Amino acid sequence: MPWSVLLCGLAAAAVEDRPNVVYVVTDDQRWDAMSCAGHPFLKTPHMDRLAAEGARFANAFVTTSLCSPSRASSLCGLYAHSHGVINNFTDFPREIPSLQNQLQAAGYETAYIGKWHMGEDDDAPRPGFDYWASHKGQGNYYDNEFNINGVRQRLPGYYTHRVTELATQWLRRPHDRPFLLILGHKAPHTPFTPEEAYRHIFDDVEIPYPASAFQLDGKPDWVKERLVTWHGIYGPLFGFREKFPDERPEAVADFARFVRSYLATIVSVDDSLGKVLQTLEETGQLDHTLVIFASDNGMLLGEYGMTDKRTMHEASIRVPLLVRYPPLVRPGTVVREMVLNIDLTPSVLDICGLQPFKTHGRSWKPLLDGSATDWRKSWYYEYNYEKQFPYTPNVRGVRTDRYKYVHYPHGDGRPDRHRAELYDLQNDPEERYNRIDDPAYAAVLQQLQAELRRLQEETGALPDRMPLDEGVKTELPEASIR
């Protein structure tokens, strides 16, 4: 037998032995919006199944809590300041190495279905994917026009159902080589719109404001200025702009409806996950598939008077991460170490036995097989001010297992507006007490400031080229919400 034929045969066998990859990503789902993470009434049996049959990462975070930057970081393993997607209008750079390109080059059949959300006005198929079904911009909860492999097609009905149908149909196709499927959901992004079957599912559940919504002592002034904007609890999302809820008792009802709708859209996502798992099971691929479920960022639901994300508070940066792959993951594993969205690509490549490229992340495979040593003790967070959505300033920060230091580097002559924040997460997990001026934390603050600088240097974030912070503007057109 010629050596070329033998080598081709060995290469084909190696490809066939590699696992399939199914990566399901939601939009704005908080880490605790799953019953397996302890939510008091939201039931997510299929997410729970992944956790029970695989692993739940209890401390998974994003390095920029904004859709496009986070999605780009997940696919290339780099911080936003390196890949360049620092807002919701920039497309994924075609010239940098990525998960999809690496797997495609290794012989994988690749598909992207659903919300891409990088490159606002472009729905064209992206490099690295053999199959493409996506749309322009945010998409709508009902009746979207998709670009399916270069042909636009209107798909009527509820978004979650349509992308699930496309995904399960693609999974049922004959596949003669391992595959990568990325399924991007619209939910639970604003405007929260449950499908009809779940529209009233939580109507009987009492949902008060979180206690931290009204405890703003010690918070920087920009947090208080945000209250009457699109991203504040007194803003137009609830149909009023008055100052305080005790002046408008119906505000609590509006807020409760906001939260109920958010959670109800996640029920549909869980149904979708169940159908994906069922399809993998029926096609005999489930136990040979690395299934990953995650979100691009979290969502503030009233904490500190906020809605939206972008900030460095826990509800904004902390996300679900579930992984199922029986050859590697012991059922019921709970990983406590801090993992980041920039770890996703190096982890998948590692598990698939492929050569990694240079990233800021690291593989969490050793956390699953028990071989991890010297895991990260701190990490760097960055968010860049957006002129279109000026409700959050530039943010630079560091989080450790116990502490969080949040720095707002653009001053405007008003030191209280960009007052830094320091939280002792062990004693104050809800981040209600800013310790930035507490003498008892002076040494901790100094250490965290030095660590922030070290992490910025390590990740190439210096010199810092942040956008000019123009401050909060409360009068923007309704179409500005993202």
Q: Mean pLDDT check: name the lowest of 92-96, 136-140, 374-378, 476-480.
A: 476-480
CATH of 18-195+258-376, one of 3.40.720.10, 3.30.1330.60, 1.10.10.10, 3.40.50.1220: 3.40.720.10
pLDDT at residue number 15 = 64
pLDDT at residue number 2 = 30
Q: Look at 452 and 228; give whichever has higher pLDDT.
A: 452
pLDDT tens-digit map of 62-107: 999 999 999 999 999 999 999 999 999 999 999 999 999 999 999 9
pLDDT at residue number 453 = 98
pLDDT band at 480 (very low <50, low <70, confident <90, very high): very low
The answer to whether the CB of 259 falls within 8 A of the CB of 190 is no
pLDDT tens-digit map of 249-280: 344 458 899 999 999 999 999 999 999 999 99
pLDDT band at 189 (very low <50, low <70, confident <90, very high): very high
pLDDT tens-digit map of 368-393: 999 999 999 999 999 999 998 899 99
pLDDT at residue number 416 = 85
- CATH 3.60.21.10 holds for 380-480: no
Percent of the chain with pLDDT over 70: 91
Once rounded to an integer, what is the mean pLDDT over residues 404-420? 85
pLDDT at residue number 445 = 98
Mean pLDDT of the chain: 91
- 156 token code pair: 């009527």
**Is residue 123's pLDDT more than 90?**
yes
pLDDT at residue number 254 = 83
**Is residue 288's pLDDT more than 70?**
yes
pLDDT at residue number 10 = 34
Which residues belong to CATH 3.30.1120.10 in the chain?
380-480
pLDDT band at 471 (very low <50, low <70, confident <90, very high): confident
Percent of the chain with pLDDT over 90: 82
Once rounded to an integer, what is the mean pLDDT over residues 34-52? 98
pLDDT band at 134 (very low <50, low <70, confident <90, very high): very high
Q: What is the pTM of this model?
A: 0.93
Which residues belong to CATH 3.40.720.10 in the chain?
18-195+258-376
**Is residue 437's pLDDT more than 70?**
yes
pLDDT tens-digit map of 339-368: 999 999 999 999 999 999 999 999 999 999
pLDDT at residue number 469 = 86
